[in-house]
Structure 1
């Protein structure tokens, strides 16, 4: 494992602890503190605080995702088609199976628009879980999980861009396309041009965070690595924890928990994250292995099931998609409870399997 990968994994793992702390703070604030929802819906210029975090600051998170994708495709684990095939197939299986389970359970009923919620993997929490297990998990397993999560992010970004765009404006979309060309030609001006691209994408109707991904993919590798080195800690320790603080607050009083437990939407998300990811990632990988694929060096096959379970920790991107999918606050709250429960169960299952795998 290279020093570059170790640094990325370290930041993501430590960032997972920061996200966990922010999540706990959000839950305490929503249930014991002053007006949680009122604060985050405070107007600040053209957007409220909630949208400044979700649409604005999260563009930095997606910029880091774009940079990591670019690096892995150009000079990393996704560079060679044969090497990339196994985690790519695993990620596809881990996206398709949760969607199938969700759609089958919801069956076009309330919350059907949230079909993509359960297909996401939270890199920070999943990598954090692996990090906490220390040397009980092989380096090959860490690399495989990171590659699966990166391809998963690519798919999630495509889903957000294609299926969760609203009222697309062709004029602003053309302006965004022109800015993409300019950034490609003059990458050193990525920051001011990136801000303009964010405005154009936001006004186009496509979710503004896609601008961050685009900039990350456009930057040359040398510039991108410097940008990622400087901004990744800000993304891991400030932006994503702040996103958790702004989105993870759920009020459990007033019968909300009882309503959630009787909601098909909640159980569809839980089943998608826990069973869908486990079956999808492991099933697709085993099929690829039978076809001649090979696991990363040093990764025992028994650890595959722990990775597949850990991939069900959907948290950050799942919350993000839930906020895009639903206009009804009640559905958003139920989706959050499903995401919390599914991610927690997936994390505990992944921990149990990986702990036992190394002892065996």
Structure 2
């Protein structure tokens, strides 16, 4: 039923290749790598003040601030369907305990990160404190793959982990928007994004359907879909992106207001469900069309962001790892226990309380989003490089998960 490997190869394998190439390049020729990352594509670009306060469009800005918007749009699509659709995975009592555990999986890493920074490296606390959100992230694809390796495809803990990871991504998007602005805040510009979202929804989604009420042939909706396709939403997306960019909120989140306006299916099969590829609604059609472009974007993201020299390992590296490898499991286990047993929300049938610890270890694989947050939390330099190294090292959580699974005697359940 699940197409985990297809998803992994689509959205993560090229990212890993790009990250590995970046590590090799940065550690063999740091200067040429830096010049590549900061390659100037367009000087005096007519698109407002960019991240450096000027109108210089660099390769790094193009990938991180413009093209990564496509990746976050796909993440938002999965979160949106999980929340809004009647059978969405984040609706109802079945999601109550995973959502409560997600809160622990966010707070635990923050407490450990800031606690370690304060008690162990108090003299540099203010230099590293802004990276508190880096270890809150969970990489959906890799954590899900490792979860299946630890629990087996049919274990209820795997479904629990997936719900937690999706909710974690939703919280991560909110954190990025609120706590990591890309410049001086000018919230009035968000009215442009709001207007784009409302306008495209009313004119190209709600109005055609309204005009087709009582007519099973749906001529207006069909004409809009066949003649205009995704173009109205692409134009609205560009307008929304510009509104975010000018508002000071990270523009990589600029497409998020447009995702809910796109016509979508009446039900969700799940992020790894084989049936998802057969849905023909416009939202899923756009997601499928973005498959190969996003693969390339993630490759470039890994290539442009993971190039750190091994000598840059330092305090932020251990803070990020501590937040992920200690804060995640402890936070998820504690909040999961409170939700399941104190608040009587319960656990899925067949899932033990001790499995919450294993789930927490698996969820400690941050990688993609952790790497992105590290790139916006700190200015380029030693602190950012050290934090990125911690995000890359979070892959060790996979080995920790396998060991903890053995120690807690997890019984694998085949699908």
TM-score band, normalised by the shorter chain? 0.7 to 0.9
Equivalence map 1:39-78=2 (5 Å): 39-45=36-42, 46=45, 47-75=57-85, 76-78=87-89
Whether the 8 Å contact between 1:310 and 1:346 is mirrored in structure 2 is: yes
Cα 1:144–1:171 shift into 2, 3 Å: same
Deviation readout 1:301-332 (Å, 9 max, x if unpaired): 44432221011111111111111111241111
Equivalence map 1:146-157=2 (5 Å): 146-157=162-173
Deviation at 1:65, TM superposition (A): 0.8
Aligned counterpart, 1:292: 344
Establish whether residue 213 from structure 1 lines up as the match of residue 256 from structure 2: yes
Aligned counterpart, 1:352: 403
Aligned counterpart, 1:130: 147
Establish whether residue 144 from structure 1 lines up as the match of residue 202 from structure 2: no
Aligned counterpart, 2:200: 183
Q: Select the residue among 90, 95, 98 that pairs with 1:84.
A: 95
Whether the 8 Å contact between 2:109 and 2:136 is mirrored in structure 1 is: yes
Gaps of 5+ in 1: none
Aligned counterpart, 1:37: 34
Aligned-partner Cα distance in 2 for 1:332–1:84: 35
Establish whether residue 168 from structure 1 lines up as the match of residue 185 from structure 2: yes
Aligned-partner Cα distance in 2 for 1:21–1:140: 32
Deviation readout 1:69-119 (Å, 9 max, x if unpaired): 111112344453312211111111100111111111223432111111111
Whether the 8 Å contact between 1:123 and 1:149 is mirrored in structure 2 is: yes
Q: Select the residue among 304, 307, 314 that pairs with 2:366.
A: 314
Cα 1:240–1:328 shift into 2, 3 Å: closer
Aligned-partner Cα distance in 2 for 1:289–1:73: 21
Whether the 8 Å contact between 1:11 and 1:232 is mirrored in structure 2 is: no
Deviation at 1:33, TM superposition (A): 4.7
Aligned-partner Cα distance in 2 for 1:323–1:176: 24
Aligned-partner SS, 2:258 = helix
Cα 1:127–1:323 shift into 2, 3 Å: same
Deviation readout 1:125-182 (Å, 9 max, x if unpaired): 2123235x28734342322211111111111111111111131224422212211211
Deviation at 1:344, TM superposition (A): 2.5
Aligned counterpart, 1:27: 23
Please report the TM-score for the alignment, with normalisation by the length of structure 1.
0.88
Whether the 8 Å contact between 1:123 and 1:146 is mirrored in structure 2 is: yes
Aligned-partner Cα distance in 1 for 2:287–2:158: 20
Larger mean CA deviation between 282-291 and 60-69 belongs to: 282-291
Aligned-partner SS, 2:251 = coil
Gaps of 5+ in 2: 46-56, 119-124, 206-229, 266-281
Aligned-partner Cα distance in 2 for 1:87–1:240: 28
Larger mean CA deviation between 225-234 and 286-295 belongs to: 225-234
Aligned counterpart, 1:120: 137
Aligned counterpart, 2:241: 198
Establish whether residue 339 from structure 1 lines up as the match of residue 391 from structure 2: yes
Give the total of aligned pairs: 345
Cα 1:295–1:225 shift into 2, 3 Å: farther
Whether the 8 Å contact between 2:73 and 2:259 is mirrored in structure 1 is: yes
Aligned-residue CA RMSD in angstroms?
2.3
Larger radius of gyration: 2
Aligned-partner Cα distance in 1 for 2:378–2:40: 21
Deviation readout 1:257-315 (Å, 9 max, x if unpaired): 4xx1xx2x222211101000011112211211102223335545444322210111111
| Greater fraction helix | 1
Aligned counterpart, 1:270: 321
Aligned counterpart, 1:228: 287
